């Protein structure tokens, strides 16, 4: 089992930045691909990005490429989502997730989920 705790959400103006954190506990964190997803009201949970277990390769949704960056600190069992140039359409609940199947944009590839953290971007 892996337990994930998301944090760092809040209210920010368009063009601003936020950094989300996801602290993991339980089974070996280092062996999991870590992903971020988001869900806006009335919409399905969608892929934001992920980082491989090795901390090298990453994958991002087109909508966030060049603005969002995922990193991980395996010594702290923590993964981060740095969000820059935020837009109102980035408003959503953001969830981190852990999976053992490598880089993937598919929700089913992830076995463990955080509780979510709200990000609101005002125009």
Q: Note the pLDDT tens digit of each residue in 13-52.
A: 999 999 999 999 876 777 899 999 999 999 999 999 999 9
Strand runs labelled E in the chain: 2-7, 10-13, 18-26, 33-39, 46-51, 58-60, 68-73, 78-83, 92-99, 112-113, 117-122
Both structure tokens of 14: 């368009």
CA dihedral 63, 10, 8, 86 (to 10 degrees): 30
Residue 46: how many other CB atoms lie within 10 Å: 14
Q: Half-sphere exposure (CA, 13 Å, Cβ side) for 76?
A: 10
* pLDDT score, position 46: 98
> What is the share, in percent, of the chain residues with pLDDT greater than 70?
98
What's the Rg (C-alpha) of the chain?
A: 13
Specify the higher pLDDT residue, 102 or 14.
14
With a cut of 80, say whether residue 117 has pLDDT above it: yes
pLDDT band at 55 (very low <50, low <70, confident <90, very high): confident
With cut-offs at 50, 70 and 90, classify the pLDDT of residue 1. Answer: confident
C-alpha separations of 70 from 17, 43, 49, 56, 65 in Å: 14, 23, 7, 10, 11
Q: Tens digits of per-residue pLDDT, 56-76?
A: 899 999 999 999 999 999 889
**Pairwise CA distance, residues 23 & 44, whole Å:** 24
pLDDT of residue 95: 98
User: What confidence score (pLDDT) does residue 42 get?
Assistant: 95
CA 55 to chain centre: 14
Compare 53 and 21 and report the one with higher pLDDT.
21
């Amino acid at each position: 089992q892996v337990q994930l705790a998301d944090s760092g959400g809040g209210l920010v103006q368009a063009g601003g930045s936020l950094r989300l954190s996801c602290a993991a506990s339980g089974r070996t964190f280092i062996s999991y691909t870590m992903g971020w997803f988001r869900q806006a009201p009335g919409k399905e949970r969608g892929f934001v990005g992920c980082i491989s277990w090795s901390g090298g390769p990453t994958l991002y949704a087109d909508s966030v490429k060049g603005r969002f960056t995922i990193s991980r600190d395996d010594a702290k069992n923590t993964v981060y989502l740095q969000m820059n140039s935020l837009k109102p359409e980035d408003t959503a609940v953001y969830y981190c997730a852990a999976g053992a199947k490598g880089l993937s944009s598919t929700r089913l590839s992830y076995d463990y989920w955080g509780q979510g953290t709200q990000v609101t971007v005002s125009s």
